[in-house]
Amino acid sequence: MTKTKTYPTPNADSSRRDTVALFDLLAQRDTRDRTHFFRIEGLRLLAKAVDSGADIRAVILSPNHTTTPAAQRVLQTLLDRRIPITRVSSECLERITMTEDPQGFAAIVRQRWESLADIDPAADLCWVACESVRSPGNLGTIIRTADSVGAGGVILLGKSTDQYAPLTVRASMGSIFAQRFIRSSFQNFAAWKERVGAHLVGASPNGARDYREISYQRPSVLFMGSERKGLWPVHQSLCDDLVRIPMAGSTDSLNLAVAAGIMLFEVYRQAQPPG
Q: Find how far residue 266's CA is from the centre of its chain.
A: 21
What is the pLDDT at residue 64?
81
Average pLDDT for the chain: 91
Of the residues 110, 142, 168, which one is the last residue of a structural domain?
110
Of the ranges 52-61, 85-94, 242-251, which is most confident? 52-61
Q: Which residues pair with 181 in a beta bridge?
A: 154
Q: Please tell me the predicted confidence (pLDDT) of residue 66.
A: 82
What are the tens digits of pLDDT across the range 37-84? 999 999 999 999 999 999 999 999 998 878 889 999 999 999 999 999
Q: Which domain holds residue 258?
A: 116-271
Q: What is the CATH number of the domain that holds 164?
A: 3.40.1280.10
DSSP 225: -
pLDDT at res. 2: 41
Percent of the chain whose predicted confidence (pLDDT) is above 70:
94
Tell whether 251 and 137 lie within a shared domain.
Answer: yes
Burial of 92 (0-12, 13-18, 19+ CB in 10 A): middle
Same domain, 167 and 238: yes
Same domain, 93 and 140: no
Q: What are the backbone angles phi and psi of residue 113, rounded to the nearest 5°?
A: -130, 150
Q: Are residues 147 and 210 in the same domain?
A: yes
Beta bridge partners of 87: 61
Last residue of a domain, one of 85, 110, 135: 110
Domain count across the chain: 2
β-strands 105-110, 37-41 pairing: antiparallel
Q: Is 43 exposed, middle or buried (0-12, 13-18, 19+ CB in 10 A)?
A: buried
Name the band, by pLDDT with cuts 50, 70 and 90, for residue 275.
Answer: low
- Between CA 74 and CA 82, with CA 80 as vertex, the angle to 5 degrees is 105
Query: CB of 162 within 8 A of CB of 168?
Result: yes
pTM value is: 0.90
